[in-house]
Structure 1
């Protein structure tokens, strides 16, 4: 085993939390390798816009030395919220969850790019799938890779998201369906191609909800608007409804029927999307999700505390990464560092998960139907 000051650290997953951990470690001269199954940084879309909070995500960016670069890209105007009456399309007061006053928006892909650009060449091993881990009996671990090879390391950090391959080494918990599904839709070059929609959404986010159904749209960079059609239904709602998710016309017809009676200005989100509908059932880990400390291995972000996507998950993942890096830098041993980190992260994530569950109920209110 390497010395305590130069451990072999393997981060599984190149999402925001894992990259924050790697960036802070490297800023302090520590070695780290990130294993990522995607073939490259641009292998897939990174999702929508994120509000990065002063009390969580921005702390991690500051620790990584990236706060000024974030500020240069972020959109403070993206914090604007508009709430509309579903039946009339008229404005209503905003009464949703309020995050930090300083929570500018940035596209997830732009934020990920900041972290990736800050890392030393070769830090991320692209196209390298980790299928599992095996303890070696002395506090070290063997990573099992998709190509049949292995890597022995002193510390494994599972930053590999909702369906983590690392989580089973510390916890038997698995994500459960929330009863809420988002169907995503996208609109390109909105100021020119969809001007009425662009005016309605404004610079930030738009919300309309009624009877367990919600339409939510958010402005992204480069004139893109991403919309989510949210409703409570069984996970296999499309099968029961006879809807082929690959048939866009059939999906559209079903959604329009579901939102019958809503104002036509809002139904534009269902009628005129440029990008295909994407079905996204929401899953969460139990709250609280905790585990007994296991030497040489831990979790962060969605692997540790998968929550509804209501504005906290990415912020907490980055803060997890920064906190774990700080512990590894300041504590005398890996074991001391993990216990210090988990002592902070687990209680914090429990409180946040309960808050997010309440926020999801506010966003898509439960019904008796």
Structure 2
């Protein structure tokens, strides 16, 4: 089977690229390992930024529809000390500069904007190889293959496509998030709901943090950060939710109960989310017929930019291909040179932000970051 443009991964980046190409009349096919769009939850809240995420959605012709998804009031931010003392309480100012949406809603918007059949579900990539200069073959777990003149890896941290361009692999950054959910929190978990407030909560000390965000329907979505080796987390008995939450909560002994409730009162089994990153200066030599976007190209510690960068990468790649319809290599070369410069700067900033949030000077460094004193120009 042959396809002109093949995108691996139906995350936000891959779908945005397919949409931007569609706007310009360029067909593409997206292959996704998940069996359906509802196979798993799609993560939490995203603040879509004015300088990258929103222009990307505008390029996709979806900015107005995106605004209909925004959850009002979620730009509020609270920082608490371990004893519950409020260190910062910034309400949503109503300007909408960082509008918050749920990742699943944004993904659905992108999916619904594509022609039927654009996304091929249940196609887990098992291998990629060059078959001739500028053409590649992708093999799938069901035994099928596709050959393409342009292969785009939008397949995330553990990208299979990246092996065609780079030997780099993500490395553990030393911190793992433990993900929990509290449902119907205003009624069932009122103290925790009050602590979180209308938007985001952060309660950090060096090496650990309790973070949460208010989602739709009164759901509190928490990420408990702990700096520890992966071996330490491997000893947690996750199949026993009570034992798992008790072990994690033990690391926060003496913290205010409205904060530790985000661990102990979880309505779901805690899920481990170890954090990985690619080298800050990750780049590759141009290989005809293949490129990367999003986490596949520049995975960094989380700082609120990952989804925005994936959206922007996709829009920029789509624009470049539309501007050079008869010379894709020129388009890819221009896209990648801009990508390398942009992603290196963003990765450096992400590493610095991560230290401000979890390093030895937090919460002071985090407060500086949130109030503008710690952000570089």
TM-superposed CA distance for 1:366, in Å, is 4.7
The answer for the alignment partner of 1:222 in structure 2 is 217
The gaps in structure 1 that reach 5 residues or longer are: none
Structure 1 residue corresponding to 2:179, chosen from 163, 172, 184: 184
Compared with structure 1, are the counterparts of its residues 84 and 150 closer, same or farther at alpha carbon in structure 2 (3 Å cutoff)? same
Whole-angstrom distance in 2 between the partners of 1:256 and 1:126: 38
Aligned positions, number: 355
Cα RMSD, aligned residues only:
1.7
Give the match for residue 335 of structure 2. 341
SS of match in other structure, 1:236: helix
- Alpha-carbon contact 1:8-1:155 (below 8 Å) kept: yes
Corresponding position: 1:111 with 2:111: no
Q: Does 1:319 align with 2:312?
A: yes
Distance change in 2, residues 1:76/1:342 (3 Å): farther
What is the distance in 2 between the residues matched to 1:106 and 1:228?
17
1:4-35 CA-to-partner distances (Å, cap 9, x unmatched) read xxx80000000000000000100111100000
What is the Cα deviation at residue 282 of structure 1? 0.5
Bigger shift: residues 76-85 or 176-185: 76-85
- TM-score, normalization: structure 1? 0.93
Look up the SS of the partner of 1:192 in the other structure.
helix
Q: CA deviation at 1:101?
A: 6.8
2: CA distance, partners of 1:196 / 1:63: 42
| Residue equivalent to 1:279 | 272
Q: Distance in 1 between matches of 2:49 and 2:190?
A: 30
Aligned position for 2:203 = 208
**Runs of 4+ in structure 1 displaced over 3 angstroms?**
none
Instruction: Give, in whole Å, the separation in 1 of the partners of 2:222 and 2:233.
Output: 19
Contact 1:184 1:280 in 2 (8 A): yes
Segments of structure 2 that go 5 or more residues without pairing to the other structure are: 362-377
- 2:77–2:88: 8 Å Cα contact kept in structure 1? no
Please list, as runs of the form range in 1=range in 2, the aligned pairs for 1:1-369 lying within 5 A after superposition: 8-87=4-83, 89-93=84-88, 102-239=97-234, 242-331=235-324, 332-366=326-360
Q: Once the 2 structures are TM-superposed, how far is the Cα of residue 76 of structure 1 from its aligned partner? A: 4.3
3-state secondary structure, aligned to 1:73: coil
